[in-house]
Chain A
Amino acid sequence: MCLAIPGKIVEISRDNADSALVDVVGVRRRIDLGLLQDDKPVAGDWVLIHVGFAMSKISEQDAFDQMNTLRALGEIEGAMQEVEGYGLENMN
């Protein structure tokens, strides 16, 4: 379940606040914003699209945080190996 794709809102329809044009790598699709009534997106926001409806706003900040966490993976490992060498870590 759940092919959902990130898309960038290009414009909110003038005659229907629930309808917006999104861009997914150059492909434009009209989608329904009806499920984001409590947190209306604006042009420039990224949303997650599933069956023609925006399900959620995508947080660029959280995405950056995640990338940073992932980049740090290798670095943390180095520190962990040192600690393990002291036999302090419980392996199970």
Chain B
Amino acid sequence: MAHGAGGKASRKLVEGLFAPLLFGSSPGPLGDAAHIDINGTRVALTTDSFVVKPLTFPGGSIGELAVNGTVNDLAVSGARAEALLVTYVLEAGLPTPVLEAEVRAMAKAAWDAGVRVAGGDTKVVEHGKADQMYVTTTGIGHLIPGITVDPRSVRVGDKILLSGPIGDHGITILLARGELDLEADLRSDTRSVLPLVETLIRAAGPGIRWMRDPTRGGAATSLNELARDCGLGMVLFEDQIPVRDTVRGACELLGLDPLHIANEGQFLAVVSPEYADAAINALSLAPGGGEAQVIGEVREQPVGTVLVTTRYGGSRIVDMLVGDPLPRIC
């Protein structure tokens, strides 16, 4: 079960089992999308499965997640999504209005994201499986010129940027499950980050080293992966990390760290210092980028680790998630 949560166990599964058997002699670190060469044309390809309970929640539903998630994976790999293929695995007995609502949501999200749904497949499984529905989307797109995303290009002194507040999606889902007696005015942040990524590329293209959308496992997991892949240290400044008050409050109440909470409408970027100011200025002026922040910088130490520092000189290491974030009382 821990293998699905996006953290250490997931990574072990992918690196230890899938990669050696399936990816062959593919060199280099695993990214959000694959860039392949077809007779001289470079295309980007990615796929993702979406499993969420409940299906709908404030701010969206599985339909939106399925579209935006894949568009975003392509975007942070430096590609513009052109088309999606969609697979639905449906639980027998799923009411038609529920399915219809999701398909509509997906259609709207695709329209909003500027991507077309080119085809798909549907399977029905017996009642009791599939938690109502599982959705997989596969996206194909073309590379945006002027940008190369590669963790190996990250250097000491580079700045770490975050497009907006973290934790909104994961906490919204947690509250929407209704198991906790918590209420808050919170919505999932699900959206396509492609427009902001394109803004970033226009303002700072040559300076962009790496990007990622911090979904399951949160920003901590994404940055830990980067730290590992480039062998450097990610030092974050705690009071510069944007977190909404309600998310902070919910995390305090539950004993969770916002850095471990899933996001569906944000991205991280590492930008060279010469381009960092232009990058953050362009993002903050763009629609939906008003809360973008420089949250840290790359240093030589601590190697392969994410360190969060406070204004008063205290610091703590933030590891990748082991399994799902669990609320605690102690």
A–B proximity contact (CB within 8 A): yes
Interfacial residues, chain A to chain B (CB-CB below 8 A): 1-3, 5, 24-30, 49-52
Query: Which one, A26, A51, A52, contacts B249 given CB within 8 A?
Result: A26
9 smallest CB-CB distances across A and B, nearest first, come from A25-B249, A27-B249, A26-B246, A27-B184, A24-B249, A28-B183, A25-B245, A27-B250, A3-B255
For residue B187, CB closer than 8 A to chain A, the reply is no
Contact B330 A3 (CB under 8 A): yes
For residue B1, CB closer than 8 A to chain A, the reply is no
Closest chain A residue, CB of each to CB of B249: A25
Q: Could you list 17 examples of A-B contacts with CB < 8 Å?
A: A2-B329, A3-B329, A5-B252, A24-B252, A24-B253, A25-B246, A26-B185, A26-B249, A27-B184, A27-B246, A27-B249, A27-B250, A27-B253, A28-B182, A28-B183, A29-B182, A30-B181
Within 8 A of A (CB), among B155-174: none
Query: Which one, B181, B184, B255, contacts A26 given CB within 8 A?
Result: B184
Interfacial residues, chain B to chain A (CB-CB below 8 A): 181-185, 245-246, 248-250, 252-253, 255, 328-330
B239 to chain A, nearest CB (A): 16
Given A24-B253, A29-B182, A30-B181, A2:B246 Cβ within 8 A: no
15 additional contacts, CB 8 Å, given A26-B245, A26-B249? A1-B329, A3-B255, A5-B252, A24-B253, A25-B246, A25-B249, A27-B246, A27-B253, A28-B182, A28-B184, A29-B181, A29-B182, A50-B329, A51-B329, A52-B181
Closest chain A residue, CB of each to CB of B254: A3
Contact A5 B253 (CB under 8 A): yes
B135 to chain A, nearest CB (A): 30
How far does the alpha carbon of A13 sit from the alpha carbon of B249 in the complex, in Å? Answer: 22
A81 to chain B, nearest CB (A): 23
How far does the alpha carbon of A56 sit from the alpha carbon of B103 in the complex, in Å? Answer: 50
A13 to chain B, nearest CB (A): 12
How far does the alpha carbon of A28 sit from the alpha carbon of B184 in the complex, in Å? Answer: 6
Contact A25 B248 (CB under 8 A): yes
In the complex, chain B residues whose CB is within 8 Å of the CB of A2: 329-330
How far does the alpha carbon of A1 sit from the alpha carbon of B245 in the complex, in Å? Answer: 25
A41 to chain B, nearest CB (A): 18
A6 to chain B, nearest CB (A): 9
How far does the alpha carbon of A5 sit from the alpha carbon of B251 in the complex, in Å? Answer: 11
Contact B184 A3 (CB under 8 A): no
Given A24-B252, A25-B249, A3:B182 Cβ within 8 A: no
In the complex, chain A residues whose CB is within 8 Å of the CB of B183: 27-29
In the complex, chain B residues whose CB is within 8 Å of the CB of A28: 182-184
Closest chain A residue, CB of each to CB of B250: A27
A20 to chain B, nearest CB (A): 12
In the complex, chain A residues whose CB is within 8 Å of the CB of B255: 3
In the complex, chain B residues whose CB is within 8 Å of the CB of A1: 329-330
How far does the alpha carbon of A3 sit from the alpha carbon of B182 in the complex, in Å? Answer: 16
In the complex, chain B residues whose CB is within 8 Å of the CB of A52: 181
How far does the alpha carbon of A65 sit from the alpha carbon of B165 in the complex, in Å? Answer: 35
In the complex, chain A residues whose CB is within 8 Å of the CB of B182: 27-29
In the complex, chain B residues whose CB is within 8 Å of the CB of A49: 253
How far does the alpha carbon of A2 sit from the alpha carbon of B252 in the complex, in Å? Answer: 12
Contact B185 A3 (CB under 8 A): no
In the complex, chain A residues whose CB is within 8 Å of the CB of B252: 5, 24-25
How far does the alpha carbon of A30 sit from the alpha carbon of B253 in the complex, in Å? Answer: 12
How far does the alpha carbon of A24 sit from the alpha carbon of B183 in the complex, in Å? Answer: 10
In the complex, chain B residues whose CB is within 8 Å of the CB of A24: 249-250, 252-253
How far does the alpha carbon of A50 sit from the alpha carbon of B253 in the complex, in Å? Answer: 9
In the complex, chain B residues whose CB is within 8 Å of the CB of A3: 255, 328-330
Closest chain A residue, CB of each to CB of B175: A27
